[in-house]
Amino acid sequence: MSNHHHPANKSTEAQAGYRKSETGEDVTRQNVQAMRQLEDAAMARRTGADRVASAIARFCGSMTFVWIHVALFTAWIGYNALPGFKPFDPYPFTFLTLVVSLEAIFLSTFILISQNYDMRISERRNQLDLQINLLAEQENTKALQMLERIAKKVGAHVNDDPQVRALEEATRPEALVEQIEEAYRTETQAKSRADPP
């Protein structure tokens, strides 16, 4: 007998294991592991430029970076300003200004690259959140409809509850967007009327 498992069977087994949590701590642990796997997958897809930019941006945001610059600037200015040394960049330290300006240009570029990558990851997470929320809403709507059918079978009538009727209706995302936009427009118009010209 062959011991090889079909990929679909493995997927089914993984899903079954995911739903076998017995405690709240098990659920949160599995959720954290799932998020960690998503993070690892995103990190593995990074390009070489993204990795370099991320490493440089991370180093620039550390106190080590600050103290290195403090030491370098102190030594540079001290050597070129104190008597007894032959200055190679006398006051107003034109060459130091050039070096710092070039460094600022490159550092800001690396930081922007790193931020762009983080923004792409955030957009993917937002899309994932939206898909999960929409799926949860669809599941809840279907569950309410099934519960209503069960209630009718056992003689528990809920036809007179308008809130149940409203919740049973499928949520239309485009309608929610329109409501949000309308709320913002109303708020903006109210502010414009309240503020004096």
DSSP string, the chain: ------HHHHHHHHHHHHT---SHHHHHHHHHHHHHHHHHHHHHT--HHHHHHHHHHHHHTSHHHHHHHHHHHHHHHHHHHSTTS--SS-TTTHHHHHHHHHHHHHHHHHHHHHHHHHHHHHHHHHHHHHHHHHHHHHHHHHHHHHHHHHHHHHT---TT-HHHHHHHSPP-HHHHHHHHHHHHHHHHHHHHHHS--
User: pLDDT tier at 64 (50, 70, 90 boundaries)?
Assistant: very high
User: pLDDT tier at 196 (50, 70, 90 boundaries)?
Assistant: low
pLDDT at position 176 is 67
Instruction: Write out pLDDT tens, residues 152-191.
Output: 778 766 666 666 666 656 666 677 677 777 787 787 777 7
User: pLDDT tier at 2 (50, 70, 90 boundaries)?
Assistant: very low
pLDDT at position 158 is 60
Mean local confidence (pLDDT), 48-67: 86
What's the mean per-residue pLDDT of the chain? 76
pLDDT at position 105 is 92
pLDDT at position 22 is 64
pLDDT at position 195 is 65
pLDDT at position 114 is 84
Residue whose structure tokens are 């079978």? 153
pLDDT at 8 over 60: no
pTM passes above 0.75: no
| pLDDT above 70 coverage of the chain, percent | 74
